[in-house]
Amino acid sequence: MLADFRKLIRLSAIYGLGTLSTKLAGFVLIPLYTRSFSVTQFGILGLLEVSAAVVIAVFGFSLYSGFFRWYWDKSAEGKKESLFFTVTAFQVVIVLLGYLLLLPFLKYFSVLILDSADYSSLLNLMLISSLLQVVLLMPNTLLRLQEKPWLFTLANLLQLMFSLTVTIYFIVYRHAGIEGVYYGQIAGSLAFAAVLANYSIRNMVFRFERNLLRDILLYCSPLFLSGVALVMLNVTDRYSLKVLGNLADVGLYSYGFKLANTLNVFVITSVNFAIQPMIFRMMNDSNNKPFYARLLTYYTFGTMIIALAMMLFSLEITKLFARRTEYFDAWYIFPFIIYSIIFGMMKDVATTGLSITKKTKTIAITVVVTAVLNLLLNIVLIHWFGNQGAALSKLLSMMVFFGLTFYFAQKAYPIPYELKRVVLMLLVGAGIYCVSLLFNSLEVVPRLLVKSSLILIYPFVLFLLGFYEDEELKGLKSGWSKWRNLSAFAENFRRLTNM
């Protein structure tokens, strides 16, 4: 089991570099956005981003999930290359038909989403960018299935370079406004496609697997519904703020959400890229359940360390990236968004039992129920608490989502998760964050020192509360002895990343 976790760490580190390069453009460009765009314009960008997520969910049809599930299935033995061609070709057809279908209605959607028909050309760019991302899901998924993290990283680094260069050029030198954001995204996607074109073709056999596609579509149908509902769960907050408030409210919330969501973008997505192939590959292993159980514990522990740092320094992070004071109050939503992301991560791990037993209808039901609950909570809590109400509704919804998923997954495929340890980590983290609020009035240097100290004591508080097992304490001591020797750092890192 330890060998599996070491491999997981290696893959996560490399995928993290690739994922970082994919999303770094949006993160690095935040200061440019806050300098070039007013809060209202940032609100427009926020609504376009969540609309793009809806487009990707609808026209992606969760086909990558079906491809993921069937790639290791016995029925696909000897047919992996033709299966990849079949799913990719079908995805391209859906994308082309989707674009032709939506093109005549862009003005209507512009009025519906942004209260003006003047943004139809901007919506067109968003649509093109989103549909390109849908097509690229297939080679992206194949890279993960074949565990090609270095090629994945190379393609994403080139995507980052093109996206950053083109975006900065159009916003700074051409004064293209929000359009420049999508010019950069399209350029980055095309660069990614160019790098992987040869790889994709080499892994294709041009034979259409009709029967396998039919099975995948049946498997994906409930996942598609749940995927759309899940996206609506994630975007309802901004749509609700726009309806119940204004674009400035959406802009402030979107800024805070974008910063807090870096936990999901840079950490959780990277680890998930490594975890998902391993979960399905081990589903017939006799020792898989203890692995899945410890996975939730260790995944939550690692995530909480980073999450705690982000929450404690939320005030400083918000001011660091904002170029206008009107953005500063966004730090108030940080703890709600970050904890909702943690519960979302835990939900993903808890879904393992439902995925293995192919209970996709159950997954769909839990997502739909949670999405409806989130909508109702948004209506009530935004009215009472504004932006913080939207963030709180997301947190409460994700807690319910995790609870429902855990309950049904345990009925379908019981796994001995260590819930007591998980709850202890969450409560200690929340307590330390609350203590940190007492020091926000200090000057910058002492404030940073106190908050850094609070982060460092987190694992020691867990130790005092009896969190660690003897085997884990021995492992920590061994790791400390190994990594404290700075002269051997390069060699240790080489071994860590040696595939």
Span 306-335, average pLDDT:
93
Residue 427 lies in a domain: no
pLDDT above 90 covers a percentage of the chain that reads 50
Span 10-39, average pLDDT:
67
Helix (H/G/I), strand (E/B), else coil: 208: coil
pLDDT-derived band at 447 (thresholds 50, 70, 90) equals very high
H helices of 146-177, where?
149-168
In this structure, what DSSP letter does residue 206 have? Answer: -
Rounded to 5 degrees, what are φ and ψ at 204? Answer: -115, 140
Residue 483 lies in a domain: no
List Cβ neighbours of 131 (8 Å cut-off, separation of 6 or more): 55, 59, 95, 98, 99
pLDDT above 70 covers a percentage of the chain that reads 89
Task: Say how far apart CA 42 and CA 125 lie, in whole Å.
Answer: 17
pLDDT-derived band at 23 (thresholds 50, 70, 90) equals low
The pLDDT value recorded for residue 43 is 93
Pair 68, 145: CB distance under 8 Å: yes
Q: Which amino acid is at 217?
A: L
Pair 212, 75: CB distance under 8 Å: yes
| Full residue range of the structural domain in which residue 40 is found | 2-417
CA 166 from centroid of its chain's CA atoms: 24
pTM of the model: 0.79
Nearest CA to 156 among 270, 272, 10, 66?
270
Span 147-175, average pLDDT:
85
Residue 198 lies in a domain: yes
Burial 281-305 (b: 16+ CB within 10 A, else e): ebbeeeebbebbbbbbbbbbbebbe
Pair 226, 360: CB distance under 8 Å: yes
pLDDT-derived band at 406 (thresholds 50, 70, 90) equals very high
Residue 185 lies in a domain: yes
Task: Say how far apart CA 370 and CA 376 lie, in whole Å.
Answer: 10
pLDDT-derived band at 18 (thresholds 50, 70, 90) equals very low
Residue 17 lies in a domain: yes
The pLDDT value recorded for residue 499 is 45
Instruction: Write out pLDDT tens, residues 76-98.
Output: 777 888 888 998 999 999 999 99
pLDDT reading at 12 higher than 70: no
CA 158 from centroid of its chain's CA atoms: 21
The pLDDT value recorded for residue 45 is 93
Instruction: Write out pLDDT tens, residues 233-249.
Output: 888 899 999 998 888 89
Nearest CA to 458 among 337, 305, 280, 270?
305
The pLDDT value recorded for residue 347 is 94
Q: What are 182's two structure tokens? A: 């999508």
Nearest CA to 429 among 300, 323, 256?
300
Q: What are 383's two structure tokens? A: 């009215």
Helices 334-350 & 419-436 angle (0-180, nearest 10): 170
The pLDDT value recorded for residue 494 is 61
Rounded to 5 degrees, what are φ and ψ at 40? Answer: -65, -45
* Least confident interval from 182-186, 315-319, 397-401, 489-493: 489-493
pLDDT, mean over the chain: 86
Helix (H/G/I), strand (E/B), else coil: 283: coil
Span 361-387, average pLDDT:
90
**Most confident residue range from 6-15, 350-359, 436-445:** 436-445
Task: Say how far apart CA 11 and CA 124 lie, in whole Å.
Answer: 37
The pLDDT value recorded for residue 166 is 94
Q: Which amino acid is at 475?
A: G
pLDDT reading at 417 higher than 80: yes
Q: Which amino acid is at 361?
A: K
Residue 289 lies in a domain: yes
Torsion of CA 437, 402, 62, 125, to 10 degrees: -20
The pLDDT value recorded for residue 482 is 64
Number of domains in the chain: 1
Span 390-398, average pLDDT:
95
* Least confident interval from 193-202, 278-287, 373-382: 278-287
Long-range CB pairs of 288-295 (<8 Å, 24+ gap) are 289/414, 289/415, 289/416, 290/1, 290/416, 291/1, 291/4, 292/349, 292/352, 292/415, 292/417, 293/415, 293/416, 293/417, 293/418, 294/1, 294/5, 294/418, 295/349
pLDDT reading at 361 higher than 70: yes
Rg (CA), the chain: 23
pLDDT reading at 52 higher than 80: yes
Span 5-32, average pLDDT:
59
Task: Say how far apart CA 196 and CA 144 lie, in whole Å.
Answer: 13
The pLDDT value recorded for residue 483 is 59
The pLDDT value recorded for residue 2 is 47
Residue 498 lies in a domain: no
Long-range CB pairs of 439-443 (<8 Å, 24+ gap) are 440/315
Residue with the bigger pLDDT between 45 and 141: it is 45
Pair 317, 442: CB distance under 8 Å: no
Residue 489 lies in a domain: no
Pair 87, 66: CB distance under 8 Å: yes
pLDDT-derived band at 359 (thresholds 50, 70, 90) equals confident
Residue with the bigger pLDDT between 345 and 149: it is 345
Instruction: Write out pLDDT tens, residues 250-272.
Output: 999 999 999 999 898 878 877 77
